[in-house]
Amino acid sequence: MKTKTKIIIFLSVITIILAAIIGGRAIIAQKISVKIAESKKAPVGVIATKVKYSQFYNQIESFGTAISNQSYSIRIKKDNLVSSVNFDSYPYVKKGTVIATLVNNEKIIAPFDGRIGKREITPGILGGENSIIANLDDIKFLKLDIKLPENYLGVIKQGLKVEVSTDAFPKIFKGIIETISSRVDPTTRSILVQAKIQNENEELIPGMLLNAKVIFNEKQSLGVPEEALLIQGDDKYIYKINNNEIAQAKVAIGRRNFGKVEILSGLNENDLILAEGTNKVRPKSKVKIVKTVD
């Protein structure tokens, strides 16, 4: 009887120990689950921005060769030359400057301010080695002849903005269309326009090949970063941030310029939206704004 009692007591103790272990593990597992759930509910750090008006436009891309605003060519026979401007030391001359004096006391006068330089000539051509050919170029502004496809004839007009670039300089040169040809070229199906390009620092020089963008249909519209746009099938969405919670807004979009997307409907100015990282959140997700960008 005593042996049986001991066995019962032993089994009871084992049962209590096992129950305690199982219960302890259950409590620990529950606490871990609670922590995981809490961590899942922790706000996601995001970068936000406000919806603002931006400049949007259409453009026609082309190219052309730079032409002087004014150009004056000088041809002098060396035998007739008494004195001349030092081309290397004095590349810029003012209007009225004596460029050269000839044997008969005739003077060649600069008709306008500009840059003077020798022109390369092939021996035997235009007098060959017995002549000096020089050009005086006014390049504070440059002219640029551009051919544009005839299908743009309905939007081409005087005063349209032109942006010019070249690999030689990391900048954009501004200009406008000044003249438009009265005819379409039947061979190329294009129309010739001439733009006037600002060149105050005289960085661009005649003869350079320049890339050109003719800008039209300019418009101020609401815009958002391209990274903020979420596309699902044919629908487009933006994630708005309301009281640190994500809300999905369906939008209609238009043009894209400079990394911005034009918003035609679905958002209002100064709405706070998710600027990037749309894959990190879902509608009704809690977020924490860590940075706001323009």
The DSSP string of 115-167 is EEEE----TTSTTGGGEEEEEEEEEEEEEEEEEEEGGGTTT--TT-EEEEEET
The answer to whether residues 261 and 226 touch, using CB atoms and an 8 Å cutoff, is yes
Confidence at residue 7, expressed as pLDDT on a 0 to 100 scale: 67
Which contiguous run of DSSP H or E holds residue 39?
A: helix 2-41
Classify domain 44-58+220-293 at the CATH topology level. Answer: 2.40.420
Which contiguous run of DSSP H or E holds residue 37?
A: helix 2-41
Ordered by start, the domain boundaries in the chain are 44-58+220-293, 72-138, 141-218
Give the integer Cα–Cα distance in Å for 152 and 190. Answer: 9
Confidence at residue 68, expressed as pLDDT on a 0 to 100 scale: 93
- pLDDT tens, N- to C-terminus, the chain (294 residues): 556 676 666 667 677 777 677 776 777 766 666 555 545 567 888 999 999 999 999 999 999 999 999 988 877 777 666 666 666 555 788 888 888 787 787 888 888 888 887 765 444 444 555 666 678 899 999 999 999 999 999 999 999 999 999 999 999 999 999 999 999 999 999 999 999 999 999 999 999 999 999 999 999 999 999 999 999 989 999 999 999 999 999 999 999 988 899 999 999 999 999 998 888 889 998 999 888 888
**How many beta carbons lie within 10 A of that of residue 281, not counting itself?**
18
Give the integer Cα–Cα distance in Å for 293 and 276. Answer: 10
Residues 6+ apart with CB under 8 A from 51: 222, 223, 224, 263, 267, 268, 269, 270, 271, 273
Assessment of whether the complete model's pTM goes beyond 0.75 = no
Classify domain 72-138 at the CATH topology level. Answer: OB fold (Dihydrolipoamide Acetyltransferase, E2P) (2.40.50)
Give me the architecture of the 141-218 domain, per CATH. Beta Barrel (2.40)
Edge-to-edge strand list for the sheet holding 81-84: 81-84, 98-102, 107-109
Radius of gyration of the chain (CA): 38
Confidence at residue 108, expressed as pLDDT on a 0 to 100 scale: 83
Helices (H) and strands (E) in the chain, counts: 1, 18
Confidence at residue 21, expressed as pLDDT on a 0 to 100 scale: 74
Confidence at residue 210, expressed as pLDDT on a 0 to 100 scale: 97
Taking Cα atoms as reference points, which of 219, 224, 221 lies closest to residue 271? 224
Percent of the chain that is helix, strand, coil (3-state, to 5): 20, 55, 25
